[in-house]
């Protein structure tokens, strides 16, 4: 999947069933978060930077790796 140098938006990722499945598998709390709709314009880069303070780096790396394989 073309992640547009991590500038792809969460909305674009969530609209794609394959990338949405990655989030549901790897970070299920994000897929169910109440602000998910408001976060559609957040870029993958912004999400990665934000999540770095909340989730282990290994989890973030696994998401990025899975998305790049799509």
Count other C-beta atoms under 10 Å from residue 19's C-beta.
21
Query: What is the pLDDT at residue 47?
Result: 85
* Contact (CB, 8 A) for 70 and 18: yes
For residue 30, is pLDDT > 80?
no
Residue with tokens 């969530």: 14
Annotated domain spans of the chain: 4-69
Structure confidence at residue 45 as a pLDDT band (50, 70, 90) = very high
pLDDT digits (tens, 9 = 90+) for 46-66: 988 888 888 888 888 899 999
pLDDT digits (tens, 9 = 90+) for 1-19: 999 999 999 999 999 999 9
């Amino acid at each position: 999947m073309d992640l547009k140098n991590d500038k792809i938006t969460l909305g674009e990722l969530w609209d794609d069933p394959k990338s949405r499945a990655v989030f549901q598998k790897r970070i299920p709390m994000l897929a169910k978060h109440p602000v998910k709709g408001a976060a559609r314009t957040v870029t993958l880069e912004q999400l990665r930077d934000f999540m770095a303070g909340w989730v282990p780096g290994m989890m973030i790396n696994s998401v990025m790796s899975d998305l790049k394989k799509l």
